[in-house]
């Protein structure tokens, strides 16, 4: 493999990784607070792309406005799923709430098929995203550049919210100990809603960038990227926001490089992430940056 192709792969890997990172954050934030694998997060991501599609193509909103509308609507959907399907089960066994999340996931997928139809819809993205930058022999499409750049901006904004604001403090206190946080007058329900809103908004950003990058959307599109982003979150240490970002970049990069170096294995690309998952769970279940928690006897 020549240096050019290698660089090309790095650029592609960064771009894919940044999207995984954006989605992974929603998983990791929810897990940090509720100890729940929010199975429906991939569908939230899918809905983000459809909100954008309808904004631009049906309501003829300008792109920038469609972006905002899509992000807001997705955030609201995320909050609603928590309110309806997870909150009533907060005291139930953990597995019940996970099953509920799986139910929401399939519900949204099929509701997507009912409402949007199962036929993939294609997107005419703004021309600016079709531009190519040529750096030596490496071609960088503007969408790859933009997605990496936009992701990094949102990730930094998130870190600011979590570590520098009062809401962030409330989130961190709930993830340490929900009951104590409640006693300290943290509004637990409201903070959890905000967490879902932020996680879903970031998934919407990820979805929009995904749709601009691969301009075809369909109701089942959230499944595989969702699972992979979850794997990224586990890889980075679930519950750890910086870990999820790093996990996302590592996974995106690893997938692209696997296909780049060993094209004969490209059919196994989707299995690769799951093999990583099982290995991580077995040998380093707390991930690269997580803390190990054991049941007290």
Residue in 5, 118, 177, 180 binding another protein, rule: CB under 8 A: 118
Residue in 4, 117, 164, 293 binding another protein, rule: CB under 8 A: 117
d(CA 240, CA 40): 20
**Would strands 216-217 and 138-141 be described as parallel, antiparallel, or unpaired?**
unpaired
Residue in 109, 144, 195, 200 binding another protein, rule: CB under 8 A: 109
Question: Binding to another protein by residue 17, rule CB under 8 A?
Answer: no
**Closest among 232, 229, 225 to 287, alpha carbons compared:** 232
Total residues in contact with another protein, by rule CB under 8 A: 44
Question: Binding to another protein by residue 110, rule CB under 8 A?
Answer: yes
Nearer to another protein, 114 or 157 (CB): 114
Question: Binding to another protein by residue 281, rule CB under 8 A?
Answer: yes
**Would strands 216-217 and 121-122 be described as parallel, antiparallel, or unpaired?**
antiparallel
Checking phi first, is residue 98 left (phi over 0); if not, alpha (psi -120 to 50) or beta? Answer: alpha
**Closest among 179, 156, 129, 134 to 25, alpha carbons compared:** 156
- Minimal distance, residue 157 CB to another protein, in Å: 29
Question: Binding to another protein by residue 111, rule CB under 8 A?
Answer: yes
Q: Per-residue string for binding with another protein, 202-241, x by CB under 8 A? A: -----------------x---x---x--x---x-------
- SS3 per-residue string spanning 244-297: HHHHHHHHHHHHHHHHHHCHHHHHHHHHHHHHHHHHHHHHCCCCCCCCCCCCCC
Nearer to another protein, 62 or 93 (CB): 93
Please identify, among the stretches 1-9, 95-103, 133-141, 164-172, the one whose residues bind another protein according to the rule CB under 8 A: 95-103
Question: Binding to another protein by residue 85, rule CB under 8 A?
Answer: yes
State the Rg of the chain over Cα: 19
d(CA 204, CA 41): 10
Please identify, among the stretches 150-158, 164-172, 207-215, 281-289, the one whose residues bind another protein according to the rule CB under 8 A: 281-289
Please identify, among the stretches 51-59, 68-76, 250-258, 279-287, the one whose residues bind another protein according to the rule CB under 8 A: 279-287
**Strand-pair partners of 11:** none
Which segments of the chain are extended strands (E)?
121-122, 132-135, 138-141, 216-217
Q: Which residues bind another protein (CB under 8 A)?
A: 35-37, 85, 88-89, 92, 94-96, 98-100, 102-104, 106-107, 109-114, 117-118, 219, 223, 227, 230, 234, 267-268, 270-271, 274-275, 277-278, 281-282, 285, 295, 297
């Amino acid at each position: 493999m020549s240096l050019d192709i290698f660089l090309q792969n790095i650029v592609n890997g960064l771009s894919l990784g940044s999207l995984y990172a954006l989605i992974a954050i929603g998983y990791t934030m929810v897990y940090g607070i509720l100890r729940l694998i929010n199975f429906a997060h991939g569908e939230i991501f899918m809905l983000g792309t459809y909100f954008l599609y309808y904004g631009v193509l049906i309501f003829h909103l300008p792109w920038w406005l469609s972006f905002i509308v899509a992000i807001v609507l997705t955030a609201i959907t995320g909050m609603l799923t928590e309110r309806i399907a997870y909150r009533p089960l907060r005291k139930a066994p953990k597995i019940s709430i996970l099953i509920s999340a799986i139910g929401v996931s399939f519900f949204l997928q099929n509701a997507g098929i009912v409402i949007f139809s199962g036929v993939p819809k294609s997107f005419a993205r703004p021309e600016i995203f079709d531009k190519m930058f040529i750096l030596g022999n490496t071609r960088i499409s503007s969408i790859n550049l933009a997605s990496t750049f936009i992701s990094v901006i949102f990730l930094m904004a998130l870190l600011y919210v979590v570590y520098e604001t009062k809401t962030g403090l409330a989130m961190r206190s709930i993830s340490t100990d929900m009951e104590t946080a409640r006693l300290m007058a943290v509004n637990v329900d409201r903070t959890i809603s905000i967490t879902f809103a932020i996680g879903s908004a970031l998934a919407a950003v990820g979805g929009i960038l995904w749709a601009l990058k691969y301009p075809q959307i369909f109701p089942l599109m959230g499944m595989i990227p969702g699972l992979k982003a979850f794997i990224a979150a586990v890889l980075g240490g679930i519950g750890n926001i910086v870990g999820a970002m790093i996990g996302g970049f590592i996974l995106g990069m690893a997938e692209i490089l696997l296909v780049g170096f060993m094209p004969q294995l490209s059919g196994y690309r989707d299995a690769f992430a799951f093999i990583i998952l099982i290995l991580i769970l077995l040998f380093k279940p707390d991930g690269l940056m997580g803390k190990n928690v054991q049941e007290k006897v």
